[in-house]
């Protein structure tokens, strides 16, 4: 009997993340991913259902990680609502800094995957969103955050804005350092633009 050597699944995933980040999902060829991963094109189909499945597993990985980290923040009773809020934003930025390619795929292809396979996609994403909601809820209950806002809308607003800025940064990284962007985001969300 033969046993799988090395970690081809991981190699393929990493190659895919890199290529998706560079050229986007649609222009990334399976043959190229295989080449980058050092396997034959056909071998990809031993580890993944099809091309879409690769993207799906990438998203699974990242959302799972984000979710677990957010859970820690949420359950840390030493943090004030605003501390938690800051930590949540830092979390997303940290992941971005740690693995820009992964983050790039994450911001660019979210639409695509949400459209094409909403049912498979939602597992960890939903969990993440709910945890984010909990943090906001706590802030409102403790009278730190305004109660004039709908939680759902607020959640979508915050993550949408962050995603948009990260995307923009990825296209043109030299205009602003990520830390300045992060700091501005925190300020706007907390205090708004009114002087």
Summarize as ranges the residues that interact with DNA (CB under 7 A).
1-6, 8, 27-31, 38-43, 45-46, 50-52
Q: State the nearest-atom distance from the C-beta of 18 to DNA, in Å.
A: 15
CA–CA dist 181, 120 (Å, integer): 32
Listed residue (15, 13, 14, 24) closest to 171, CA to CA: 24
Interface with a second copy includes 178 (CB under 8 A)? no
Q: CA angle, 119 as apex, 116 and 125 as ends, to 5°?
A: 100
Residues 145-174 within binding reach of a second copy (CB under 8 A):
145-150, 152-154, 156-165, 167-168, 171
Among the candidate windows 8-16, 29-37, 98-106, 177-185, which touches a second copy by CB under 8 A?
A: 177-185
Report the Cα–Cα distance between both ends of the chain, in Å, rounded: 72
Among the candidate windows 50-58, 91-99, 111-119, 124-132, which touches a second copy by CB under 8 A?
A: 111-119
DSSP state, residue 42: G
Q: Tell me which H or E stretch contains 46.
A: helix 44-47
CA–CA dist 181, 28 (Å, integer): 30
Tokens of 193: 């633009």
Q: State the nearest-atom distance from the C-beta of 46 to DNA, in Å.
A: 5
Interface with a second copy includes 130 (CB under 8 A)? no
**Which phi and psi angles does 5 have, rounded to 5°?**
-100, 160
Q: Which position among 114, 122, 126, 179 is part of the footprint of a second copy (CB under 8 A)?
A: 114
Interface with a second copy includes 101 (CB under 8 A)? no
Interface with a second copy includes 184 (CB under 8 A)? yes
Q: State the nearest-atom distance from the C-beta of 114 to a second copy, in Å.
A: 8
């Amino acid at each position: 009997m033969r046993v799988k050597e090395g970690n081809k699944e991981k190699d393929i995933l990493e190659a895919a993340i890199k290529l998706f980040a560079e050229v986007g999902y649609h222009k990334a060829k399976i043959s190229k991913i295989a080449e980058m991963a050092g396997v034959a094109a056909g071998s990809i189909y031993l580890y993944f259902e099809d091309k879409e499945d690769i993207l799906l597993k990438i998203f699974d990985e990242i959302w799972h990680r984000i979710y677990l980290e957010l859970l820690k923040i949420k359950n840390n009773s030493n943090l004030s609502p605003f501390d938690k809020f800051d930590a949540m934003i830092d979390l997303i930025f940290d992941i971005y800094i740690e693995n820009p390619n992964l983050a790039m795929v994450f911001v660019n292809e979210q639409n695509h995957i949400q459209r094409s396979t909403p049912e498979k996609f939602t597992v960890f994403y939903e969990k993440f969103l709910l945890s984010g909601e909990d943090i906001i809820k706590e802030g409102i209950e403790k009278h730190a955050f305004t109660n004039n806002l709908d939680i759902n809308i607020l959640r979508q607003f915050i993550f949408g804005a962050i995603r948009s800025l990260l995307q923009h940064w990825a296209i043109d990284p030299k205009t602003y350092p990520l830390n300045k962007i992060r700091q501005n985001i925190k300020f706007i969300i907390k205090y708004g633009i009114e002087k």
